[in-house]
Structure 1
Amino acid sequence: MSETPDNAVRTYIGTQRDAFLGDLAEWLRIPSVSAQPEHAADVRRSADWLATKLKETGFPTVEVWPTDGLPAVFAHWQCEDPEAPTVLVYGHHDVQPAALADGWHTEPFAPEIIDGKLYARGAADDKGQVFFHTLGVRAHLAATGRSTPAVHLKMLIEGEEESGSEHFRALVEEHAERLAADVVIVSDTGMWSAETPTVCTGMRGLAECEITLHGPDEDLHSGSFGGAVPNPATEVARLVAALHDEDGRVAVPGFYDGVRELTDRERELFAQLPFDETAWLRTAKSRALRGESGRTTLERLWARPTAEVNGIAGGYQGPGGKTIIPSSATVKLSFRLVDGQEPEHIARVVTDWVATRLPEGIRHRTTFHPGTRPCLAPLDHPALRSLARAMGRAFGKEILFTREGGSGPAADLQDVLGAPVLFLGISVPSDAWHAPNEKVELDLLFKGVEAGAHLWSDLAENWPRAH
Structure 2
Amino acid sequence: MSDTPDSAVRTYTEHHRAAFLADLAEWLRIPSVSAQPEHAADVRHSAEWLAAKLKETGFPVSEVWETPGAPAVFAEWPAADPAAPTVLVYGHHDVQPAAREDGWHTDPFEPRIIDGRLHARGAADDKGQVFFHTLGVRAHLAATGRTAPAVHLKLLIEGEEESGSPHFRALAEARADRLATDVVVVSDTGMWSETTPTVCTGMRGLADCEIELHGPDQDIHSGSFGGAVPNPATVAARLVAGLHDDAERVTIPGFYDGVTPLTDAERELFAELPFDEAEWLRTAKSHGTLGESGYSTLERIWARPTAEVNGIGGGYQGPGGKTIIPASAMVKLSFRLVAGQDPDAIEVAVSRWIAERVPAGIRYNLTFGASTRPCLTPLDHPALRSVVRAMSRAFDGAKIRFTREGGSGPAADLQDVLGAPVLFLGISVPSDGWHAPDEKVEVDLLLKGVETAAHLWEDLATTLSRSADLPTR
Which TM-score tier does this pair reach, normalised by the shorter chain? over 0.9
Q: How does 1:18-37 map to 2 (within 5 A)?
A: 18-37=18-37
Stretch of structure 1 that moved more, 97-106 or 210-219: 210-219
Q: Percent identity among equivalent residues? A: 77
The residue aligned with 2:176 is 176
* Worse overlay, 154-163 or 79-88: 79-88
Counterpart of 1:76, as a letter, is: E
Q: Offset at 1:465?
A: 3.4
Q: Matches of 1:316 and 1:177 in 2, distance apart? A: 55
Matches within 5 A, 1:179-328: 179-328=179-328
Note the residue ranges of structure 1 that are not aligned, 5 or more in a row. none
Whether 1:142 and 2:142 are equivalent positions in the alignment is: yes
Query: Would you say 1:454 and 2:455 are equivalent positions?
Result: yes
Deviation at 1:461, TM superposition (A): 2.2
Q: How does 1:76-225 map to 2 (within 5 A)?
A: 76-225=76-225
CA distance in 1, matches of 2:467, 2:263: 30
Amino acid at match of 2:62: V
CA contact (8 A) 1:192 1:428 kept: yes
The one-letter code sitting in structure 1 at the alignment partner of 2:205 is G
State how far apart, in whole Å, the 2-side matches of 1:466 and 1:350 are: 40
AA matched with 2:400: I
Q: Given the superposition, is the C-alpha separation of residues 81 and 107 from structure 1 closer, same or farther in structure 2, using an over 3 Å criterion?
A: same
Distance 1:7 1:91 in 2: 28
Which deviations, in whole Å up to 9, do the C-alpha atoms of 1:219-254 show, x marking residues without a partner?
A: 111122111111000010000000000000000111
RMSD: 1.0
Q: 1:128-159 deviations in whole A, cap 9, x for unaligned?
A: 00000000000000010100000000000010
| C-alpha distance in structure 2 between counterparts of 1:466 and 1:288, whole Å | 46
Q: Name the TM-score, length of structure 2 as normaliser.
A: 0.98
The two structures have a TM-score, normalised by structure 1, of 0.99
Q: Do structure 1's residue 434 and structure 2's residue 435 form an aligned pair? A: yes
Tell me the equivalent position of 1:407.
Answer: 408
Give me the whole-angstrom Cα distance separating, in 2, the residues matched to 1:440 and 1:60: 29
Cα deviation, 1:386-431, whole Å, max 9, x if unaligned, reads 0000000001201000000000011110110011111100000000
Displacement after TM superposition at 1:455 (Å): 0.3
In structure 1, C-alpha distance between the alignment counterparts of 2:126 and 2:277, rounded to whole Å: 28
Tell me the alpha carbon deviations over residues 313-352 of structure 1, each in whole angstroms, 9 at most, x when there is no partner.
Answer: 1111223322211111100000000111011001001110
**TM-superposed deviation, 1:378:** 1.7
The aligned runs of 1:46-85 (5 Å cut-off) are 46-85=46-85
The AA in structure 2 aligned to 1:443 is D
- 3-state SS in 1 of match to 2:16: helix
Instruction: Note if contact 1:90-1:187 (Cα within 8 Å) is conserved in structure 2.
Output: yes
* Equivalent position of 1:2 in the other structure: 2
The residue matched to 1:463 in structure 2 has which SS? Answer: helix
Give the whole-Å Cα distance in 1 for the aligned partners of 2:395 and 2:324.
63
Q: 1:82 Cα deviation (Å)?
A: 2.3
SS in structure 2 at match of 1:113 = strand
Distance 1:399 1:366 in 2: 44
Contact 1:83–1:465 (Cα < 8 Å) also in 2: no
Quick check: 2:137–2:453 contact (8 Å CA) kept in 1? Answer: yes
43-52 vs 351-360, greater mean Cα deviation? 351-360
Q: Is the 8 A contact 2:207 2:372 kept in 1?
A: yes
1:334-353 matches, within 5 Å, as 334-353=334-353
Per-residue deviation at 1:3? 0.4
Supply the distance in 1 between the matched residues of 2:400 and 2:259 (Cα, whole angstroms): 27
The worse-fitting range, judged by mean Cα deviation, of 326-335 and 269-278 is 269-278
Q: Tell which deviates more after alignment, 212-221 or 457-466.
A: 457-466
Letter aligned with residue 128 of structure 1: G
1:14: Cα distance to partner?
Answer: 1.2
- Output the CA distance in 2 between the equivalents of 1:358 and 1:25: 55
Distance 1:263 1:420 in 2: 20
Following the alignment from structure 1 to structure 2, what is the Cα–Cα distance between the partners of residues 432 and 132? 19
In the alignment of these two chains, the number of paired residues is: 467
Match of 1:392 in 2: 392
For structure 1, which segment, 135-144 or 313-322, has the greater mean C-alpha deviation from structure 2 after superposition?
313-322
User: How far apart, CA to CA, are the structure 2 residues paired with 1:260 and 1:169?
Assistant: 24
- Which residue of 1 is the match for residue 422 of structure 2? 421
CA distance in 2, matches of 1:212, 1:422: 39
User: 1:466 Cα shift?
Assistant: 7.4
Counterpart of 2:68 in structure 1: which amino acid?
D
Q: Does the CA contact (< 8 Å) of 1:13 and 1:139 recur in 2?
A: yes
Distance 1:13 1:139 in 2: 6
Which SS does the other structure have where 2:262 is aligned? coil
Letter matched to residue 291 of structure 1: G
Which amino acid in 2 is paired with 1:395? F
SS of equivalent residue, structure 1 residue 360:
coil
AA aligned opposite 1:412: D
**Partner Cα separation in structure 2 for residue 203 and residue 260 of structure 1:** 13
Q: Is the partner of 1:40 in helix, strand or coil?
A: helix
Matched residue SS, 2:293: coil
